[in-house]
Structure 1
Amino acid sequence: MARLLACWELGLGNGHLSLMVPAARALAAMGHESWLAARDVVTPPTLWGDGPPAFSRVVQAPLWVRQRIAVPTFSYGQVIGDGGFMSEEGLIEIVRAWLTLFELVRPVGIYGEHAPASLLAAHVARLPSARLGSPFSCPPATGPMPSIMPWVRGPEAADDAVANRVIRAVCRHFKAPMLGSVRELLATATPFVTSWPEVDPSAGRRDSDYYGPMDGLALAAPPDWPSAPAGAPRIFVYLPFERVQAAPLVEALAVRGWPTVWVSGRPFAGRLPESIRHEVEPVDIARALTEARLFVTRVGHASSLDALRHGAPMLLLPDMLEAETHARQLEARGLGRRPAAWTADAIGDALDALADDDAPERAAAATVRARYAAYDAPAVAATLGRRMARALRLL
């Protein structure tokens, strides 16, 4: 049995873990154990359900906790600046902490989801590595790296300059084989894109198959829909109440009285109408999406894939850069719609349009659902596990 270390450094929410859990279980079925170095050590144990833990041990990942980038990010190199790739001295110490963790855990290889410093540490330690994730967190190792905001003109030539310089400095400090750029760092780890083309802004990946969502989280409780008049459309909402879009959405839904299940970790600052039921914990998203007329979403990666799989048209309310990239792809393919403005009237107009039987987004969503009707998540996860084992030199 080989021991591997799964790594997660950047990003929030359960989606990052949901992509690694199937990989860990597939590797475990082959006799290999995985430890998890997590950005958040509290959340993972809540995701196993009644089954065995996906990871043998959960430890804290070394993280950059100082200043964050406060300017527009045009490239992946700027995104990982928030992980320490803006400071030579800082990243040297983060990599040193990863190397210490490697000495304690003694993995024969690592795999990471949005964990660039762990990949650099694996390069220094001469450990084989793999990376998995969405098109945003697991981009192709191309040069120059593609813009992640192609709709905005930015200083393309200098996008990755700081991260490239910091990577070279870390390699020199630890006397590791030189990596000259973000692209070369990404090329050290075999990619596994746990997504579908509908949310990928690239022109088609040649470095990895599309593995899809793979069902990484345990089943949760079924949605408890509020009572409503017959024929009223059910609305499923996955959006934190603290987001700026939440208050006008509450207002628009209250006017219509449509039965709504709203998942948010924190309560609403005001009073919710009886037609909106707040759930703090995740619900069975497959059942919620099947029973709902439409999905109102912050356009997280994992939930977007779930909506595609179950044929749910989406009202798109992106709240982060990664979510914005997903929203633009879904809207361009006719699978979702965003309101003209973040006001109750504009959001209400979008709700009415999407709830209509003849909404073009409804037909497009049904087409995608049919495309993935035969998607076999356990079989796909097993295939990914075998290929990852090969990439990590376990076969």
Structure 2
Amino acid sequence: MARILFTWELGLGMGHLLPHRPTVETLLERGHEIYFASRNLTSLGRAFDGLPIRMLQSPYRSSPVSPYYRTTATFPQVMNDSGFDNAKDLSSHANAWWHLISTIDPAIVLCDHSPTALVALRALPQKKINIGGGFTCPPDETPFRVLEPRLRYTPEQLERDEARILANANAAIESLGGAPLERLGQLFGELDDTIIFSFQELDHYEDRVGATYWGPPPLVPGAAPEWPEGDGPKIFGYLRAFPILPTVLDRLNELGHPTLIYPSGIDESLLKRCESATLRFQRDRLDLAHVRREADLAILNANLSTTIAMLMAGIPTLMFPVTLESQMVAARAVMMGAGLMVQGNQPNEVVRQLDRMLESDKYAANARAFADRYADWDCDAFGTRVADRVEELIRDA
């Protein structure tokens, strides 16, 4: 049996861990030895509780980067803000990844948002898969496309940014003895496979050529929803802190519909101020399969996995994206007519957009159309399918 390494380097939330549990369970059942190098060990322990995996701290950039864009328009700028800003520091972190991977000596590495691990793997013989929801698996294209056209960057600046990130990546690769990149997209294109756990309609790169969409993993069991009292449609929220969240919560209280919210990192004082007879915060991770059987509307930060889960049940979504990645997910759902989006700096839009969602049936109808399109999709087979592909690549080594 084989030794297999999963990695997670960048990003926040359990969305970089929980989707892999079905695959890990299947591989363990088949006798494989699983290592997981994670950015957050606490979250790793919770996501894989009860499973005999080897848990490791992944290398990641913890010091400030310079330049730092704060608002990014292209994936190379995202890479810059994630540690590709200078060759010296990137080389150090790539070296740490190289030694971690070399020490474990796996047959294959599955990388979830781990671009520096991909740099190190350019100088290593292991099979490699990039796996994620789409945003972190960009297509191999030059130049990288503009993801946020409202930002005012000139084509010349974006070209310079991409060239600088490429030079930094090549310096790190060459320091490890790997073959340099001719273009930055090769880092994500020259792999043994790319596994996108999404659908084309919600892919951040909607016109991606030649992609295979694996669909979402099965939902992880959790606590049963405890709905508060109230009349009207049931509203479910999965929300983290963002600037206009108090406005959102106040409006939900004014409406008086039964509203259940799973809060992530929201200040307890705000939760206590806003909790009411019709608005409840349930702090245990919820069973989304149960929630979506009962909810009529979802209010989200447009995180991909929960957005897909709601749409596959025909539940329309009102979205408050907090990152470029989630903004692109929200834009795709809006294009389908299955939801609306409110930017974090538009508090006056909260009432209008929420009322539109509650007063019109068209958003629910479009969400149901999406659900009907994938009604026969077997999410429960996700772990088996990925495990089969992993074993296939190992056999072909």
The answer to whether the Cα contact below 8 Å between 1:167 and 1:181 also exists between their aligned partners in 2 is: no
Q: Which residue of 2 aligns with 1:161?
A: 163
Cα deviation per residue 1:200-240 (whole Å; 9 max; x = unaligned)?
A: 2434333431111112x5300111001224xx211101112
Secondary structure of residue in 2 paired with 1:36: strand
Q: Which residue of 1 aligns with 2:280?
A: 277
The answer to whether the Cα contact below 8 Å between 2:39 and 2:60 also exists between their aligned partners in 1 is: yes
Letter in 1 for 2:83: G
Structure 1 stretches lacking a partner, 5+ long: none
Q: Is 280-289 or 377-386 further displaced after alignment? A: 377-386
1:187 CA displacement: 1.9
Q: Which residue of 2 aligns with 1:337?
A: 340
The 1:392/1:178 distance shift into structure 2, 3 A limit, reads farther
Cα deviation per residue 1:167-205 (whole Å; 9 max; x = unaligned)?
A: 111122222112233211112322111111222243433
Q: Which residue of 1 aligns with 2:46?
A: 46
2:63 matched to 1:61? no
2:218 matched to 1:219? no
The answer to whether the Cα contact below 8 Å between 1:261 and 1:279 also exists between their aligned partners in 2 is: yes
Out of 310, 324, 330, the residue aligned to residue 327 of structure 1 is: 330
1:65 CA displacement: 0.9
Secondary structure of residue in 2 paired with 1:274: coil
1:344 CA displacement: 6.2
2:237 matched to 1:237? yes
Secondary structure of residue in 1 paired with 2:94: helix
Cα deviation per residue 1:100-158 (whole Å; 9 max; x = unaligned)?
A: 21233221221111001111111212222101111111111222222222444533423
Secondary structure of residue in 2 paired with 1:296: strand
2:207 matched to 1:204? yes
Within 2, Cα distance between the matches of 1:131 and 1:338?
29
The 1:209/1:93 distance shift into structure 2, 3 A limit, reads same
Secondary structure of residue in 2 paired with 1:144: coil
Within 2, Cα distance between the matches of 1:239 and 1:6?
27
2:107 matched to 1:108? yes
Within 1, Cα distance between the matches of 2:196 and 2:395?
19
1:243 CA displacement: 1.4
Q: Which residue of 2 aligns with 1:188?
A: 190
For normalisation by structure 1, the TM-score amounts to: 0.91
Secondary structure of residue in 2 paired with 1:227: coil
Q: Which residue of 1 aligns with 2:263?
A: 264
Letter in 2 for 1:37: A
Within 2, Cα distance between the matches of 1:286 and 1:206?
32
Within 2, Cα distance between the matches of 1:191 and 1:331?
26
Q: Which residue of 2 aligns with 1:391?
A: 393
The answer to whether the Cα contact below 8 Å between 1:191 and 1:207 also exists between their aligned partners in 2 is: no
Letter in 2 for 1:135: G
Q: Is 87-96 or 151-160 further displaced after alignment? A: 151-160
Letter in 1 for 2:53: S
Instruction: Work out the percentage of aligned pairs sharing the same amino acid.
Output: 26
Q: Is 359-368 or 70-79 further displaced after alignment? A: 70-79
Q: Is 78-87 or 196-205 further displaced after alignment? A: 196-205
The answer to whether the Cα contact below 8 Å between 1:239 and 1:263 also exists between their aligned partners in 2 is: yes
The 1:280/1:310 distance shift into structure 2, 3 A limit, reads same
Within 2, Cα distance between the matches of 1:387 and 1:268?
47
Within 2, Cα distance between the matches of 1:275 and 1:86?
48
Q: Which residue of 2 aligns with 1:75?
A: 74
The 1:17/1:254 distance shift into structure 2, 3 A limit, reads same
The answer to whether the Cα contact below 8 Å between 1:252 and 1:345 also exists between their aligned partners in 2 is: no
Within 1, Cα distance between the matches of 2:309 and 2:47?
17
2:376 matched to 1:380? no
1:16 CA displacement: 1.2
Within 1, Cα distance between the matches of 2:178 and 2:342?
50
Structure 2 stretches lacking a partner, 5+ long: none
Secondary structure of residue in 2 paired with 1:91: helix
The 1:7/1:256 distance shift into structure 2, 3 A limit, reads same
Q: Which residue of 1 aligns with 2:137?
A: 138
The 1:290/1:179 distance shift into structure 2, 3 A limit, reads same
For normalisation by structure 2, the TM-score amounts to: 0.91
2:8 matched to 1:8? yes
1:379 CA displacement: 2.1
Across the two proteins, how many residue pairs are aligned to each other? 387
Q: Is 359-368 or 182-191 further displaced after alignment? A: 182-191
2:313 matched to 1:314? no
Cα deviation per residue 1:44-79 (whole Å; 9 max; x = unaligned)?
A: 222246xx42x6111100011111423432221221
The answer to whether the Cα contact below 8 Å between 1:129 and 1:391 also exists between their aligned partners in 2 is: no
Q: Which residue of 2 aligns with 1:95?
A: 94
Within 2, Cα distance between the matches of 1:341 and 1:292?
24
The answer to whether the Cα contact below 8 Å between 1:316 and 1:337 also exists between their aligned partners in 2 is: yes
Letter in 1 for 2:64: Q
Secondary structure of residue in 2 paired with 1:347: helix
Within 1, Cα distance between the matches of 2:346 and 2:295?
23
Secondary structure of residue in 1 paired with 2:42: coil
The answer to whether the Cα contact below 8 Å between 1:7 and 1:112 also exists between their aligned partners in 2 is: yes
1:274 CA displacement: 2.2
